[in-house]
């Protein structure tokens, strides 16, 4: 028996027998830790106690205090769900072999499992399945992990008549281990699974709930069978589950699709097609204001805007590598028999083409090209959702052409721009996920360049004081990247802004500049999006503000309501006065009674309602109600106008009350 060494988080080395598992490491450290151990981290990757650890690995033992353990337990809960569904249907008299299974992964807050079942589940089944799940958890069934040779594994599922698992195995690389997790012994439940899991069903997060059912195509492919997906959530505390359920309920009320209808912002039409939103005048104002804001801030930060349209010849995407790597996400080609065109799924090749239309010297760098171009991505129709998942997305996209030495400064500048933007929208709770290369070979192999860039990014994040997490192995193949994960008013996390360093594409598209020494060099390109896409961010903001948009974003900022018909002429004058002051102003419908007019304005969540009657006309004042501050009567019209202008101009979220 040979021995091996692993390295612990404190740097200590531990001597173990070759082939030792996570459990063995924990046991070697001490019996207390062995009992508390739920999983391990090996060379930065999450793994379970069943996994063997390689020679020389850095190993950390994870306990309930480590947040990653929750996801191990959620994964195990997916298996518990599958076992419970099988038992539940068997109890109804269905053949357990008729319960076939797709995949059951961990997702945010929980997990799901896809089934091909002898009958369709309905929401009423979920509490019954949950009961069985609680029993399985209570039984604290031990998990066991084992591998089988490929033929034996295939044979098992062929015998069971389960085509899904058989297909999954067939698609594994020839040298991949084929592992199974068994819970409750041979009579319990066994699933083809890569792991990782907690060591027993008693160690899952205790506060779980099956939330919903949905149809899901096998492997997301619309031409394959439709499976039944069971969604569940799971948390370690009752409070977390309650918070989640509150959030869900609140989100239902704030649903941007519902508010989009009520506030007359946008729509979808069958005649135009799924995922292709149409914006009514009110929605167009909101998106225009959002883009104007980003345009302003980009100009202030030294970006230049360009325009490159929506269609390019397919050859460009062959050069850039998009046809090879990204064709599945693109709209089909437009072909006229001679030329093939594509709708742009991203701007980078176009911006690099524009860059190449001029000779550049190092003195021109950094060059920051920004564009609000609508991009077209062929999301599967089943995955489309309101504005947050569309096929037409207008990115606030930029590409920064710079030297390697400029990466840190440009990255820092982009960080500041993004922070300022998110702050403006009140998205102040965020962190950056810094995605770095892992150990695997999918990355370009200039080690030096990668580590210099990684360090530059870390330095910039430190210098800007931005919280960040490092995610190994999550980098794009072309370079490291930083994604902003921001929490909205409901505490939901959205991936919005992104900054990505690219060492590859500029060379593929032969971008170059003349360096100070006269040599030709390839610039680094930094891809950067501030809010991501206008459409998606608009959806997020509608929910974040629950439709109560800040004054600067509100399509109609103030609505004038005359107390009675004889005040209408004065009301019209007031509308003109506000309009001339640059405020987006509406007027109550003719003949509408004041209370009805006020209610109409409230339904549209118009920030200010300016009421005008005898007293106001006489005094040259206005009385207002507002969603943003306390109502006031008899306010000087000029003071009121300036107050709104100021609040709109400064894009403030918290209005300083008038007269305070």
The residues annotated with a catalytic role in the active site are: 348, 377, 395, 397, 399, 481, 527
How many Cα atoms sit within 13 Å of 617 on the Cβ side?
A: 15
Instruction: Kindly indicate which of the ranges 51-59, 154-162, 185-193, 341-349 contains the residues binding a second copy, using the contact rule CB under 8 A.
Output: 341-349
Closest CA relative to residue 22, chosen from 4, 47, 5, 2: 47
CA end-to-end distance (rounded Å), the chain:
80
Reference 107, options 126, 89, 81, 127; nearest CA is 81
* Binds a second copy by CB under 8 A, chosen from 127, 215, 309, 620: 309
Asked if 506 and 365 count as a contact pair (C-beta separation under 8 A), the reply is no
Min dist. Cβ of residue 606 to a second copy (A):
16
Token pair 């030096």 in the structure block, residue: 448
Please state, in angstroms and rounded to a whole number, the distance separating the CA atoms of residues 399 and 370.
6
Q: What DSSP character marks residue 200? A: B
Do 318 and 306 meet the contact criterion of CB atoms below 8 Å apart?
A: no
Question: β-strand 340-343 against 304-305: which pairing, if any?
Answer: unpaired
3-state secondary structure of 642: helix
**How many Å separate Cα 622 from the centre of its chain?**
44
User: How does DSSP assign 65-105, residue by residue?
Assistant: TSTHHHHHHHHHHHHHHHHHHHHHHHHTT--GGG-EE----
Single residue of 212, 237, 325, 339 touching a second copy by CB under 8 A? 339
| Signed CA dihedral, 41, 46, 51, 52: sign only | negative
Say if CB 481 and CB 422 are below 8 A apart: no
> Is 341 one of the binding residues for a second copy (CB under 8 A)?
yes
Tell me: does residue 649 bind a second copy (CB under 8 A).
no
* 306 counts as binding a second copy under rule CB under 8 A: yes
Q: How far is the CB of 316 from a second copy (least distance, A)?
A: 4
Interatomic CA distance for residues 109 and 468, integer angstroms: 21
Smallest distance from a second copy to CB 537, Å: 15
304 binding a second copy? (CB under 8 A): yes
Q: With respect to a second copy, which residue has the nearer C-beta, 173 or 337?
A: 337
State the Cα–Cα distance between residues 194 and 200, nearest whole angstrom: 16
Taking the complex as a whole, how short is the minimal distance between the CB of residue 656 and a second copy, in angstroms? 23
Interface residue with a second copy among 405, 589, 602, 630 (CB under 8 A) is 589
Kindly tell me which of 38 and 391 has the beta carbon lying closer to a second copy. Answer: 391
Shorter beta-carbon distance to a second copy: residue 349 or 613? 349
363 binds a second copy (CB under 8 A): yes
CB of 328 to a second copy, least distance (A): 11
Task: Decide: is 369 part of the binding site for a second copy (CB under 8 A).
Answer: yes
Q: Which stretch binds a second copy (CB under 8 A): 75-83, 352-360, 395-403, 436-444?
A: 352-360
> What is the contact mask toward a second copy in residues 259 to 298, using x (rule: CB under 8 A)?
--------x-x-xxx--xxxxxx-xxx-xx----------
604 binding a second copy? (CB under 8 A):
no
Binding range to a second copy, per CB under 8 A, among 180-188, 314-322, 427-435, 469-477: 314-322
Q: Which residues bind a second copy (CB under 8 A)?
A: 267, 269, 271-273, 276-281, 283-285, 287-288, 304-313, 315-316, 319, 331-336, 339, 341, 343, 349-350, 353-354, 356-358, 363, 369, 374, 376, 378, 391-392, 589
């Amino acid at each position: 028996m040979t021995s091996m060494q692993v390295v612990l988080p404190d740097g200590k080395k531990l001597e173990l027998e070759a082939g030792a598992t996570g459990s063995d490491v924990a046991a070697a450290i001490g019996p207390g830790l062995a009992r508390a151990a739920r999983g391990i981290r090996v060379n930065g990757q999450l793994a379970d106690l069943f996994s063997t650890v390689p020679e020389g690995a850095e190993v950390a033992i994870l306990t309930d205090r480590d947040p990653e353990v929750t996801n191990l337990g959620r994964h195990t809960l997916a298996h518990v769900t599958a076992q419970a569904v099988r038992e539940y249907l068997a109890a109804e008299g269905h053949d357990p072999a008729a319960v076939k299974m797709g995949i059951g992964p961990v997702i945010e807050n929980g997990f799901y499992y896809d089934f091909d079942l002898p009958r369709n589940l309905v929401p009423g089944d979920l509490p019954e399945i949950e009961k069985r799940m609680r029993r399985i958890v209570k039984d604290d069934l031990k998990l066991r992990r084992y591998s089988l040779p490929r033929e034996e594994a295939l044979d098992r599922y062929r015998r069971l008549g389960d085509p899904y698992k058989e297909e999954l195995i067939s698609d594994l690389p020839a040298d991949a281990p084929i592992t199974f997790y068994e819970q409750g012994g041979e009579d319990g439940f066994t699933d083809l699974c890569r792991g990782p899991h907690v060591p027993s069903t008693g160690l899952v997060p205790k506060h779980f709930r099956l939330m919903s059912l949905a149809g899901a195509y096998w492997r997301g492919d619309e031409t394959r069978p439709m499976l039944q997906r069971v969604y569940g959530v799971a948390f370690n505390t009752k409070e977390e589950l309650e918070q989640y359920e509150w959030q869900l309920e609140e989100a239902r009320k704030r649903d941007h699709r519902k508010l989009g209808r009520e506030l007359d912002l946008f729509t979808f039409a069958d005649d135009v097609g799924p995922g292709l939103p149409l914006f009514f005048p009110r929605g167009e104002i909101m998106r225009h204001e959002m883009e104007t804001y980003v345009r302003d801030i980009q100009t202030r930060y030294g970006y230049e805007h360009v325009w490159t349209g929506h269609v390019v010849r397919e050859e460009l995407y062959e050069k850039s590598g998009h046809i090879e790597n990204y064709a599945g996400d693109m709209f089909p080609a437009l072909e006229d028999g001679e030329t093939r065109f594509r709708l742009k799924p991203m701007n980078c090749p176009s911006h690099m083409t524009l860059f190449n239309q001029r000779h550049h010297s190092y003195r021109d760098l950094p060059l920051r090209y920004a564009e609000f171009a609508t991009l077209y991505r062929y999301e599967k129709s089943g995955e489309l959702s309101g504005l947050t998942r569309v096929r037409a997305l207008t990115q606030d996209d930029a590409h920064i052409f710079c030297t390697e030495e400029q990466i840190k400064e440009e990255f820092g500048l982009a960080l500041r721009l993004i922070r300022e933007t998110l702050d403006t929208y009140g998205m102040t709770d965020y962190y950056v996920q810094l995605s770095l290369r892992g150990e695997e070979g999918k990355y370009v192999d200039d080690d030096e360049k990668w580590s210099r860039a990684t360090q530059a990014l870390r330095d910039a994040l430190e210098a800007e004081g931005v919280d960040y997490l490092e995610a190994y192995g999550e980098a794009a193949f072309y370079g490291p990247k930083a994604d902003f994960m921001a929490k909205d008013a409901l505490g939901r996390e959205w991936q919005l802004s992104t900054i990505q360093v690219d060492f590859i594409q500029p060379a593929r598209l032969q971008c170059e500049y003349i360096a100070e020494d006269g040599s030709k060099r390839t610039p680094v390109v930094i891809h950067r999006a501030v809010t991501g896409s206008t459409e998606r961010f608009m959806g997020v903001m509608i929910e974040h503000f629950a439709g109560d948009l800040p004054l600067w974003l509100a399509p109609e900022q103030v609505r004038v309501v005359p107390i009675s018909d004889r005040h209408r002429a004065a009301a019209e004058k007031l509308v003109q006065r506000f309009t001339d002051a640059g405020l987006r102003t509406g007027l109550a419908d003719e003949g509408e009674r004041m209370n009805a007019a006020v209610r109409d304005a409230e339904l549209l969540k118009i920030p200010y309602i300016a009421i005008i009657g005898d007293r106001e006309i006489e005094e040259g004042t206005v009385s207002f109600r507002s969603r943003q501050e306390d109502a006031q009567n008899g306010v000087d019209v000029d003071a009121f106008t300036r107050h709104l202008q100021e609040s709109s101009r400064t894009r403030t979220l918290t209005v300083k009350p008038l007269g305070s």
